[in-house]
Structures are given as structure tokens and as C-alpha cells.
Amino acid sequence: MSDRYKCILLVGAPGAGKGTQGKILGSIPGFYHLACGDVFRSLDLTSPLGKKFMEYSSRGELVPDELTVEMWQQNMHAQTVLSLYKPAQDLLLLDGIPRTVAQAKALEKYLDVLLVLHLICPDEDEMVRRMRRRALKENRIDDADEKVIRRRFEVYRRETAPILNYYPANIIKEVPATGSPAMVLMSVLDVVAPLQDHHFRNPLNP
Ligand code: AMP
């Protein structure tokens, strides 16, 4: 269906570099980057949803699916109404959502998933180091505690990794996420640039 958002999903364990790559790609005209964790962090943390987010994220756990999908939907609506995201022209880069098979199913009616970019970093200790550095820099309390980080890995393996079996194998591309952000970017662009080029040359009718 053409009224679904054409999108690329960024998937990877915590610390694999989804946010870093997503932000870089999002600065290229024709991409719109939306990180679910950033949307949660921007909430008023004294609001009911903000409190829920703190309750779960401080333990390294996922916010329940229904709340997450509803928040995502409202946010997408707002971005579209404000024309920050222009579905006819922009390829949507979703970072950190869906994070469970239930979310993937719930989002199906909104998304036309062109590609699932799986960032792979086999070295868990390297990812933990990245997360602790980032936690200090970006004031992410959930990532400052190693116990919470390890919990996030468990949750990733149990709840998020199965979405890689949910999408058809031919749209899943694996990219090694080890090395500098610029090196990783080269591999990411190899996969993503041709897709964006196609979208750029064939914008949808609004
Ligand atoms: P992130 O910035 O992507 O590492 O996300 C930080 C925290 O936000 C996660 O540990 C979860 O508690 C919550 N979160 C982000 N995205 C989702 C999602 N799609 N589903 C449920 N919880 C999420």
C-alpha cells in the first residue's frame, strides 16, 4: 500500500551504533531519522508516560508495547503535520522501533519496510565500553550501570533479535559495526544509498 511510510529499520544490540549511524544518515537530505529512545527521553519525566519510561528504562527493560506504539504513532503524526517529516519525499529511518515482534506486527499497517539494516558487533565488551562512554557524555543514567547494560543485552536477545526472523530474509542486510563511525558509515552507505537514490528519483505523489 502506498500510504504506508517507506522506511528503513536500524536494528542492533545496545551500543552497536544505531544512533550514531542514524544521526549521520538523518543529516542527509531525503532521510528522516526517528529514534524511539530519543522521543522517550524528550518526554516530561513527571508526566504519566514519562514516569513509565523511567520505571522501565532504569531497569534496562522495554516500555510495554501498547504504550510504545501509541506514543510512536502520536509522534509520527506530529512530525508529519509539522512537515518535519515529509513522507512523499523522505525515507524514514526508524531507530530502536520496532523492538519486539508484537511492535513489528502493530506497526505493519503504517510501515512499508524496504530494508532492515542489522548492525552487528560481536564483541559485547566493546559495546559495553561504548555505552558507558556515551552514558557519561549524554547523561543517560540507564547506561551508566553495568548491571543495567547487561540486562539490556538479555532483553535484546530475548525480545528484539526475534524481529530479524519476522521480516523476509531478502530485505535484511547485515553490516559489521566494528571500527570507527566513518568506516561503519561506508558499509552502511553501500546498502542504503542505492535505496535512497531510487526513492529520490521516484518520489511518491503526496
Ligand atoms: P535507546 O535510546 O534506544 O537505547 O532506548 C532507551 C530506553 O528506552 C530503552 O531501554 C527502553 O526502556 C526504552 N525504549 C526505546 N525504544 C523502545 C521500544 N521500541 N520499545 C520499548 N521500549 C523502548
Query: What is the secondary structure of 99-152 as a DSSP string?
Result: -SHHHHHHHTTTEEEEEEEEEE---HHHHHHHHHHHHHHHT-GGGT-HHHHHHH
Q: Which CATH number fits domain 5-201: 3.50.50.60, 1.10.3720.10, 1.10.10.60, 3.40.50.300?
A: 3.40.50.300
pLDDT of residue 150: 87
- Residue 37 CB less than 6 A away from ligand 1: yes
Q: Is the CB of 36 under 6 A from ligand 1?
A: yes
Q: Is the CB of 104 under 6 A from ligand 1?
A: no
Beta-strand pair 31-35/172-176? unpaired
Per-residue pLDDT of 55-95, as tens digits, reads 999 999 999 999 999 999 999 999 999 999 999 889 999 99
Q: Which residues of the chain have pLDDT under 50?
A: 1, 206
**CB of 40 sitting under 6 A from ligand 1:** yes
pLDDT at 204: 66
Give residue 138's pLDDT.
74
Query: What was the pLDDT predicted at 15?
Result: 86
Q: Is the pTM of this model over 0.85?
A: yes
Nearest CA to ligand 1 atom 10: 57
- What is the spatial distance between Cα 133 and Cα 154, in angstroms, rounded to a whole number? 20
Supply the pLDDT for residue 141.
67
What confidence score (pLDDT) does residue 191 get? 96
Q: How far is the CA of 63 from the centre of ligand 1 (A)?
A: 7
pLDDT at 114: 96
pLDDT in the model for residue 169:
97
- The answer to whether 35 touches 21, Cβ cutoff 8 Å, is no
